[in-house]
Amino acid sequence: MKSWLLKTAVQHIFKGLPRAEWWNSLMQRYVTGGLRLQPYGEFQMKLRACRRHFQYYRSYSRKPRDSFFALEIGTGWFPIIPVGLHLCGAGRILTYDIVRLLQPNTFGKVLEYFCLFAKTGELDKILPEARRERVSEFIRLASPPLKISPSQFLKRLDIHARLGNICDLPLDSGSVDLVFSHGVLEHFAPSLLAQAMAEFRRVCGPSSVMSHFIGMADQFSFSDRSISPYNYMRYSARAWRWLDSPIIPQNRLRVSDYIQAYSNAGFGIVAREDVNGAESDLANTKMSSEFARYDRDDLLVLYSWLVARPVNAAGSFCESLH
């Protein structure tokens, strides 16, 4: 049996147990290694992503604010981007998730690597917008021993981790300056994506910016080298319901679907950058007929940065970063 099939089978078993996410985290920590944050791997990559989200806000907001209010979708295990935005001057940051993944051991690595990069000068190189006074205060707060929870530490930075329904946010209309996510929207079912986009539009004002990095590669291909990033396109929707992870599902949407969801909710794309996979991988994938409606350029995209503003601010303006 291919390893990805074994992995999804185990996750289906976990889904039937109490605290399914806890069981899955054990597998990630001790079997797959998914929770081993590396300073010059995922940590560095997320720092670079943080700068892009920040630059997109500064570049595309009609009236960017120094102390802006940001909303993150998907806190995850490692809240690197919200901490980085705080260092860049963000005011209040809300970070939402459907399950609480923040844990002292994984969060401790985030603090350790921020302090390491600050002391070696790497933080200045990757995130030059970070404010010196905030970096100094962060290092002071992060000095061991840390005797408070990750959520309590984040509150000291005016970052608030919340569990809840992002389709019904307890926020005033037009109150958020930046809505962002990184590798999250690909897990939203189409109906949930539409509802979430409508709610993002409600909380965004005329000068707001929405910035999302979206992954469209089959996530099982990250750990199983025997399959291509296009593997999940081989299966019908009916078959995929059994093969997909019930804990971290993949919606299999293409970039055109996301652009349409933005438009339907009242956002206009102002910046876009796609990363394509190998032509040979796509050519060697026998597609399910359900993907026949997409053109080849659409199918090739594995990752995309999509940045938008409310339509009344963006109009029909569209800029490509290719």
Task: Write the Ramachandran bin of 228: left for phi over 0, alpha for psi from -120 to 50, otherwise beta.
Answer: beta
Tell me, what amino acid is at 88?
A: C
Contacts of 206 (CB under 8 A, 6+ apart): 62, 174, 310, 312, 313
3-state secondary structure 80-139: HHHHHHHHCCCCCEEEEECCCCCCHHHHHHHHHHHHHHHHHCHHHHHCCCCCHHHHHHHH
Any domain includes 292: yes
CATH for 202: 3.40.50.150
Any domain includes 275: yes
Supply the range of the domain harboring residue 124. 37-216+253-314
Q: Which residues pair with 238 in a beta bridge?
A: none
Any domain includes 206: yes
**Whether 261 contacts 306, CB under 8 Å:** no
Letter string b/e over residues 229-258, b meaning 16 or more CB atoms within 10 A of that residue's CB: bbbbbbbeeeebeebbbbbebbbbbbbebb
Quote the pLDDT of residue 16: 79
Any domain includes 288: yes
**Whether 93 contacts 70, CB under 8 Å:** yes
Measured between alpha carbons, how far is residue 233 from residues 8, 73, 229, 243, 312 in Å?
A: 16, 26, 9, 12, 36
**Whether 182 contacts 303, CB under 8 Å:** no
End-to-end CA distance of the chain: 40
Coil, strand, or helix at residue 257? helix
Quote the pLDDT of residue 34: 62
Calculate Rg over the CA atoms of the chain. 20
Domains in the chain: how many in total? 1
Q: Which long-range contacts (CB under 8 A, 24 or more apart) does 24-28 make?
A: 24/247, 24/248, 25/101, 25/103
Helices first, then strands: H and E counts in the chain: 14, 7
Q: What is the DSSP letter of 32?
A: I
Separation of alpha carbons 295 and 273, rounded Å: 18
Any domain includes 290: yes
Any domain includes 234: no
Q: What is the DSSP letter of 320?
A: B
pTM, two decimals, is 0.92
Q: Can you list the alpha helix ranges (DSSP code H) found in 179-310?
A: 190-203, 237-243, 255-265, 279-283, 296-300
Per-residue pLDDT tens, the chain, 322 aa: give them. Answer: 578 888 888 888 877 777 766 556 656 655 565 678 999 999 999 999 999 999 999 999 999 999 999 999 999 999 999 999 999 999 999 999 998 999 999 999 999 999 999 999 999 999 999 999 999 999 999 988 788 999 999 999 999 999 999 999 999 999 999 999 999 999 999 999 999 999 999 999 999 999 999 999 999 999 899 999 999 999 999 999 999 999 899 999 999 999 999 999 999 999 999 999 999 999 999 999 999 999 999 999 999 999 999 997 444 443 333 3
Q: Which residues pair with 272 in a beta bridge?
A: 306, 320
Any domain includes 265: yes
Any domain includes 243: no
Helices 3-15, 20-27: axis angle to 10 degrees equals: 150
Tell me, what amino acid is at 286?
A: K
CA angle 100, 50, 274 (to 5 degrees): 105
**Whether 120 contacts 186, CB under 8 Å:** no
Separation of alpha carbons 95 and 155, rounded Å: 11
Quote the pLDDT of residue 320: 35
CA angle 251, 257, 261 (to 5 degrees): 100
Separation of alpha carbons 121 and 101, rounded Å: 30
Separation of alpha carbons 128 and 123, rounded Å: 7
